[in-house]
Homo-oligomer: A and B are copies of this chain.
Amino acid sequence: MSKILVGIVMGSDSDLEVMKKAGQILDKFEIGYKMDIISAHRTPDIAHEYAVNAEGSGLEVIIAGAGGAAHLAGVVASLTPLPVIGVPMHTQSLGGIDSLLSIAQMPSGVPVATMAIGKAGAKNAAILAAQILAVRFPDIRERVSAYKKEIAGEVMEKNKKLQHERCSAKVS
């Protein structure tokens, strides 16, 4: 079993469906992680404790997903020297532009590495976590490079399929 290097936190259990995508990518990269539901606003003390203890507990990167006035990533980033990645959730009324701005527009001094809104952002958070860990673990960089080739291959495969379909359509 791999050491837990990444902490995934999310503000609500309604974010789980999206944030699981991050977990799946980390599984693929064989990077150990833990996953918690911690609300910056409803469980502030737990969020505080989580962030303060993150470094000591061996985490190297934190991924935080939240929506609306999405403060979780910023709250965690304010309390740890670890790199923090923020995933803005889609919101029903404003589509997630509120989440995106609440995460990206951090003041000077406390960065949050902001991802795209929703599932693409959750996946990319895990890939970025891998890229960060790869600064120290060369085998993770190899997996990242292999993954880039894999997704390139998928696009190429889809293009091949498209050409085949169009070719068949013309012949018939």
The residues of A with any CB-CB pair to B shorter than 8 Å are: 11-13, 16, 35-46, 48, 55, 60-61, 67-69, 71, 74-75, 77-79, 81-83, 85, 90-98, 100-120, 123-125, 127-128, 131-136, 141, 144-145, 147-148, 151-152, 154-156, 158-159, 161-163, 166
Between-chain CB contacts (< 8 Å), 20 pairs: A12-B107, A37-B158, A40-B78, A42-B110, A42-B151, A42-B152, A46-B156, A55-B141, A67-B107, A69-B105, A71-B74, A75-B75, A81-B148, A82-B131, A98-B102, A107-B120, A109-B147, A109-B148, A110-B124, A114-B114
Residue of B nearest to A166 (CB): B35
Stoichiometry, as copies per complex, reads 8
Measured CB to CB, the closest approach of chain B to A152, in angstroms, equals 5
Q: Pick the contact of A83 from B90, B98, B128 — CB < 8 Å?
A: B128
With the chains together, A160 CA to B27 CA distance in Å? 21
